[in-house]
């Protein structure tokens, strides 16, 4: 009976994980999960015996004591892209995670970063690039070099920085290299009328992405299992490219989830039948004395 109770518990957990995945089937940047089980300790009824004179030996006699939750694995493959047309929506084509954080400008955070694949960005009243939940996008600064023709060429530098599109600027755009640019409309600025790069979106890579911990709101945090992030701009050292006007949708596979739901239901049902049968056997035992 207690083995069957353990089966009820883990199959309920499997259904909980499946229900969460189905609830987030349309969540931007969501990563699905997978539940695995493993057997519990076994009661040893008879130990194994080695071959002897005239005897071939015997195997151990063990009775299992139920099941336990083995793991809930994060499935980190990319979701399908969805076209939105918004210039500040960003899809990562390949590996990497957007780096975001709470902050108090002008001081740039140096720790407590959060990571996400949800690129539905916007700007606040001061022009800072932020997530839909208000976290600042922490990128890399841009170094401007005169091109000799009255303009500038831009390249990313190694300095962490906020990305700011000044209010009043027009035509914001995000390039495949992570560059966030705009057309300067400040009449007092030497770059008035020119396209200016405000900064570069920085992407983080992890040795074990599945080791990241969910933080809610499509955000993740580093863990001892994931290892520290390696931060570079888009398209550098294995990072994917940033595609503007698109978002990454959930990677939930509906066919797999419905199959898992049926499996969890039948597993729960089968274990409940064991409990019912055990109860009937106990009732028969009690009825022996009448």
Of 139, 149, 148, the closest CA to residue 119 belongs to 139
Q: Are residues 229 and 161 in the same domain?
A: yes
Distance, in Å, from the CA atom of 108 to the CA atom of 89, rounded to the nearest integer, reads: 23
Q: How confident is the model at residue 272 (pLDDT cuts 50, 70, 90)?
A: very high
Give the per-residue pLDDT at 134.
95
In a domain, 231, yes or no: yes
pLDDT tens per residue, range 89-128: 999 999 999 999 999 999 999 999 999 999 999 999 999 9
CA dihedral 12, 16, 17, 22 (to 10 degrees): 130
Q: Are residues 150 and 227 in the same domain?
A: yes
In a domain, 48, yes or no: no
Q: Which residue has the higher pLDDT, 54 or 67?
A: 67
HEC string of 78-96 equals CCCEEECCCCCEEEEECEC
- Cα–Cα distances in Å, from 208 out to 25, 71, 83, 145, 226? 24, 16, 29, 38, 5
Q: Are residues 269 and 216 in the same domain?
A: no
In a domain, 55, yes or no: no
Give the per-residue pLDDT at 73.
95
Bridge partners (DSSP) of residue 196 are 182
Q: Are residues 234 and 265 in the same domain?
A: no
Give the per-residue pLDDT at 106.
93
Query: Per-residue pLDDT averaged across 222-233, rounded?
Result: 95
Q: Are residues 88 and 204 in the same domain?
A: yes
Q: Are residues 23 and 150 in the same domain?
A: no
pLDDT above 90: residue 223: yes
Give the per-residue pLDDT at 265.
95
CA dihedral 169, 171, 176, 178 (to 10 degrees): 10
284: left (phi over 0), alpha (psi -120 to 50) or beta: alpha
Give the per-residue pLDDT at 258.
96
Q: Are residues 114 and 187 in the same domain?
A: yes
In a domain, 233, yes or no: yes
Mean pLDDT of the chain: 93
Question: Which structural domain, as residue segments, surrounds residue 257?
Answer: 2-43+60-76+252-286
In a domain, 218, yes or no: yes
CA 132-135-138 angle, to 5 degrees, is: 120
Q: Are residues 243 and 256 in the same domain?
A: no
End-to-end CA distance of the chain: 25
Give the per-residue pLDDT at 155.
95
Give the per-residue pLDDT at 43.
81
Q: Which residue has the higher pLDDT, 92 or 59?
A: 92
In a domain, 110, yes or no: yes
pLDDT above 80: residue 289: no
Q: Are residues 86 and 32 in the same domain?
A: no
In a domain, 53, yes or no: no
In a domain, 31, yes or no: yes
On the 0-12 / 13-18 / 19+ scale of CB atoms within 10 A, 78 is middle
- Tokens 């001892």 map to which residue? 224
- Tokens 């493993």 map to which residue? 38
Domain count, the chain: 2
Bridge partners (DSSP) of residue 197 are 181
Distance, in Å, from the CA atom of 261 to the CA atom of 30, rounded to the nearest integer, reads: 19
Q: Are residues 65 and 121 in the same domain?
A: no
Q: How confident is the model at residue 70 (pLDDT cuts 50, 70, 90)?
A: very high
Q: Are residues 243 and 113 in the same domain?
A: yes
Q: Which two tokens stand for residue 55?
A: 């005897």
Give the per-residue pLDDT at 257.
96
Q: Are residues 229 and 257 in the same domain?
A: no
pLDDT tens per residue, range 139-179: 999 999 998 888 889 999 999 999 999 999 999 999 999 99
**What is the value of pTM for the model shown?**
0.87
């Amino acid at each position: 009976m207690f083995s069957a109770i353990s089966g009820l518990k883990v199959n309920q957990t499997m259904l909980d994980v499946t229900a969460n995945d189905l609830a987030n089937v349309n969540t931007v940047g969501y990563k699905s999960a997978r539940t695995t089980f493993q057997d519990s300790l076994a009661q040893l009824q008879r130990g194994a015996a080695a071959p002897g004179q005239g005897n071939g030996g015997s195997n151990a006699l063990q009775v299992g004591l139920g099941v336990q939750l083995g793991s809930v694995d994060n499935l980190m493959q990319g979701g399908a892209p969805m076209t939105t047309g918004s210039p500040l929506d960003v899809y990562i084509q390949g590996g990497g995670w957007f780096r975001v954080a709470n902050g108090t400008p002008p001081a740039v955070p140096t720790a407590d970063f959060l990571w996400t694949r949800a690129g539905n960005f916007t700007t606040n009243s001061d022009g800072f690039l932020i997530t839909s939940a208000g976290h600042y996008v922490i990128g890399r600064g841009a170094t401007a070099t005169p091109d000799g023709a009255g303009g500038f060429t831009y390249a990313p530098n190694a300095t962490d920085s906020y990305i700011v599109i000044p209010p009043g600027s027009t035509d914001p755009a995000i390039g495949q290299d992570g560059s966030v640019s705009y057309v300067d409309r400040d009449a007092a600025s030497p770059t008035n009328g020119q396209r200016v790069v405000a900064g570069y979106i920085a992407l983080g890579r992890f040795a074990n992405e599945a080791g990241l911990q969910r933080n809610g709101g499509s955000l993740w945090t580093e863990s001892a299992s994931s290892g520290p992030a390696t931060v570079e701009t888009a398209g550098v050292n294995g990072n994917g490219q940033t595609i503007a006007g698109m978002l990454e949708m959930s990677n939930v596979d509906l066919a797999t989830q419905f199959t898992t739901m049926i499996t969890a239901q039948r597993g729960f049902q089968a274990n409940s039948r064991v409990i019912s049968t055990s109860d009937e056997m106990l009732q028969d035992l009690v009825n022996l004395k009448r």
